[in-house]
Structure 1
Amino acid sequence: MKTLLVSMTAVALSTAAAQASTSATATTDLNLRAAPGPAAEVISVIPAQQPVAVNGCLEEANWCEVVLDG
């Protein structure tokens, strides 16, 4: 399981009534970073069309904490 931060501008957020959490799908290959900001270390990549769970977002910075693969 990877819990990392991604830019909100590169994911499509969606909600479903049956789900308690928010999910997102990368619209393109997307770098997962260790912290918010383009200078933070790239830990992995979310492939295009890969779903992730969104734990929360820093709206003022346009970054979200996500869980990839579980």
Structure 2
Amino acid sequence: MVLVEPYLAGTSAAAAGQALIDVPHRVLPLGVGRAELRRFGTIEEHTAAHGLDAGSLRQRITAFLR
């Protein structure tokens, strides 16, 4: 399962794991990191800085699925 959250990464991972407790699974929680970004410009730049833009998500999800 891949969770893409617009808030702190891993926030929903425990709930997802609990929902799938009887099923073999892996969870990739993706979201905002703990580092505070003070200068990020546009929403697109902010999203990319956290690795939540389309290209970054594709790369991280592809690596997870290998």
* TM-score tier (shorter): under 0.3
Higher-RCO chain (CA-CA 8 Å, sequence separation at least 6): 1
Query: Structure 1 length normalisation: TM-score?
Result: 0.24
* Structure (1 or 2) with the larger CA radius of gyration: 2
* Higher share of residues assigned helix: 2
* Higher share of residues assigned strand: 1
